[in-house]
Amino acid sequence: MRYSIFSLARQALSGHRGWRPAWRDAAPRDAYDVVIVGGGGHGLATAHYLARNHGITNVAVIEKGWIGGGNAGRNTTIIRSNYGLPGNIPFYEWSMKLWEGLEQDLNYNAMVSQRGVLNLYHSDAQRDAYVRRGNAMRLHGVDAELLDREGVRRIAPFLNFDNARFPIQGGLLQPRGGTARHDAVVWGYARAASARGVDIVQNAEVTGFLRGPGGRIAGVETSRGTIRANKVAVAVAGNSSRVAAMAGFRLPIESHVLQAFVSEALKPLIPGVITFGAGHFYVSQSDKGGLVFGGDIDGYNSYAQRGNLPVVEDVCEGGMAIMPMIGRARLLRSWGGIMDMSMDGSPIIDHAPVPGLYLNAGWCYGGFKATPASGWCFAHLIARDEPHPVATDFRLDRFAAGRMVDEKGQGAQPNLH
Amino acid sequence: MRVKCPYCGDRDVHEFVYRGDAAPVRPAADAGEAAFADYVYLRDNPAGPIAEHWYHAQGCRNWLVVERDTRSHAIAAVRLAREAAR
Ligand SMILES: Cc1cc2nc3c(=O)[nH]c(=O)nc-3n(C[C@H](O)[C@H](O)[C@H](O)COP(=O)(O)OP(=O)(O)OC[C@H]3O[C@@H](n4cnc5c(N)ncnc54)[C@H](O)[C@@H]3O)c2cc1C
Ligand SMILES: [Zn+2]
């Protein structure tokens, strides 16, 4: 069924009894052309673009739990393309362009809202760094505006401009940045892929790989049986090292936990996304009214999907420093997600070092915004066996070759990115 | 999470700085590029028990080897790194 104002009106008149499930919850078949491991945003977007751009529809997405139960359903939904390095800017800007047309492409309301992303600066040196980043963005055709104190005040008068240690001097604004509804992104991609014939298989954990001649990957072992495939593509954010170990190789990745928080619903308050530049705190307001916020990762290896109290304290202190009124809001929920933290803070979209296996990993805390371009470029790699032009720097061999894409300049220490 | 420092006793994780997996060992100077790339970048990243380096920055400033389960954060043992190295 195509969603439109007419389908809505028709359903309204018939008491909303005619809605059908948006996608097929499929049972696994014996064999596919392509098996995608991981039913998060990236795996489902990959399936959609394989079908849409390359006509490859004999595809299964194999998810160990339910789709969107991983980071896709746990993130703080920020989308932006305000990067500074040449390897990153074209990729994230391509993602932003795909976000801008996503709802038409998927015929699904993903609640993409370009309400602006504002990074605050608190010192001359930080302003200079933001100017440089803003200029790099503009040279690539990305929107960026440098705001002075008064410019920030016009957008967010409630901020604490005269914090004794970290007065707000201004900010770098990306007006086209914003938020999207994370669950809807998952369901929209699932629906579009399913409509083109992709099987979405839930509650099937991949536990090993089948090998063919020459050690080539020939399929997967799952908790719902063996599935053969010509190509296997892994997009298991946070669990990449575990799946790689099943195929016999190691990755430049550590798994870390990131926490997020949401307050009770409040009246409209925060106009866009605001990030504190002197500590690590960022906040936006969901359409339901909750303040959605977070900060640093906990900083130690974890697969536990929950964090510790020191980070809760740190995030709340950051919030109190830039907008003291947040202290009046009650916290509704907090949670954690496990992410691949890579050695340079950037992702990997490449052939795995085993023939027949494709790798999409290392998204750190910023892979939600990348979902459309990640799927687009991964599908391109799988279909054509060559990297997409905007993703050529995300190679696995860049570490050994010394071609890191280190946006933060922190070096090989994953918890510092 | 609390870390039981052998010198200071049970202390909040807040006081510690995390370094990471204690398993990688710096290769000999002439071991070649592949060995160094492996040492600097590749990790086992296990879901389960791991031995890791923590630094008691806001305490005794000892480096520690902490045995911890990454699935539960439960800590099984803590030793001074200089003793673990022997
Ligand atoms: C708290 C938090 C806040 C974040 N905020 C933002 C943000 O504001 N903006 C942004 O851009 N990014 C953000 N991120 C990062 C972003 O969520 C991730 O980078 C992105 O979602 C990862 O891609 P994915 O959606 O495919 O991952 P996931 O949804 O985690 O998908 C991976 C799937 O693989 C499945 N899987 C794992 N192992 C197996 C197996 N063996 N067999 C079968 N299936 C398996 C998992 O169950 C999971 O469903 C945040 C992350 C967290 C944790
Ligand atoms: Zn101590």
User: How far is the C-alpha of A295 from the C-alpha of A301, rounded, in Å?
Assistant: 17
User: How far is the C-alpha of A20 from the C-alpha of A229, rounded, in Å?
Assistant: 30
Whether residue A123 lies inside any domain: the answer is yes
Please list the residues that pair with A61 across neighbouring strands.
A36, A200
Which pLDDT tens digit goes with each residue over A41-62? 999 999 999 999 999 999 999 9
Asked if pLDDT for residue A183 goes beyond 70, the answer is: yes
Report chain A residues whose CB lies below 8 A from the CB of B21: 254, 301
- Mutation test of the interface with chain B: which of A300, A305, A317, choosing the one with the most B Cβ atoms within 10 A? A300
How many A from CA of A259 to the centre of ligand 1? 13
Q: How confident is the model at residue A82 (pLDDT cuts 50, 70, 90)?
A: very high
> By residue range, what is the domain housing residue A260?
113-177+254-342
User: How far is the C-alpha of A301 from the C-alpha of B18, rounded, in Å?
Assistant: 9
Whether residue A328 lies inside any domain: the answer is yes
Domain containing residue A169: CATH number: 3.30.9.10
How many A from CA of B9 to the centre of ligand 2? 7
Whether residue A146 lies inside any domain: the answer is yes
Report chain A residues whose CB lies below 8 A from the CB of B41: 252, 343, 399-400, 412
Whether residue A310 lies inside any domain: the answer is yes
User: How far is the C-alpha of A85 from the C-alpha of B18, rounded, in Å?
Assistant: 28
Whether residue A405 lies inside any domain: the answer is no
Range B28-36 average pLDDT: 96
CB-based contact (8 Å) between B43 and chain A?
yes
Calculate what percentage of chain A has a pLDDT beyond 70: 100
Q: What is the pLDDT of residue A1?
A: 85
Whether residue A210 lies inside any domain: the answer is no
Pocket of ligand 1 (CB under 6 A): A 37-43, 62-65, 69-72, 74-78, 205-206, 235-239, 243, 258-260, 294, 337, 339, 363, 365-369
Q: How confident is the model at residue B86 (pLDDT cuts 50, 70, 90)?
A: low
Q: Nearest residue of A to residue B70 by CA position?
A: A302
Largest CA distance in chain B: 42
Of A343, A350, A356, the C-alpha closest to A394 is A350
Calculate what percentage of chain A has a pLDDT beyond 90: 100
Domains and CATH numbers, chain B: 2-23+33-84 (3.30.2270.10)
Determine if the pTM surpasses 0.90: yes
Task: Give chain A's domain count.
Answer: 1
Q: Are A96 and A83 in contact (CB under 8 A)?
A: no
Asked if pLDDT for residue B85 goes beyond 80, the answer is: no
Burial class for A246, CB neighbours closer than 10 Å (0-12, 13-18, 19+): middle
Q: Are A337 and A75 in contact (CB under 8 A)?
A: yes
Range B43-67 average pLDDT: 98
Report chain A residues whose CB lies below 8 A from the CB of B68: 300
Which pLDDT tens digit goes with each residue over A221-257? 999 999 999 999 999 999 999 999 999 999 999 999 9
Range B16-32 average pLDDT: 96
Element (H, E) at A263: strand A253-265
Chain A closest-CA separation from residue B83 CA (Å): 22
Q: What is the pLDDT of residue B46?
A: 98
Whether residue A64 lies inside any domain: the answer is no
Whether residue A293 lies inside any domain: the answer is yes
Q: What is the pLDDT of residue B84?
A: 83
What does pLDDT average to over chain A? 97
Say if the Cβ atoms of A250 and B37 lie within 8 Å: no
Which pLDDT tens digit goes with each residue over A258-270? 999 999 999 999 9
Which pLDDT tens digit goes with each residue over A103-140? 999 999 999 999 999 999 999 999 999 999 999 999 99
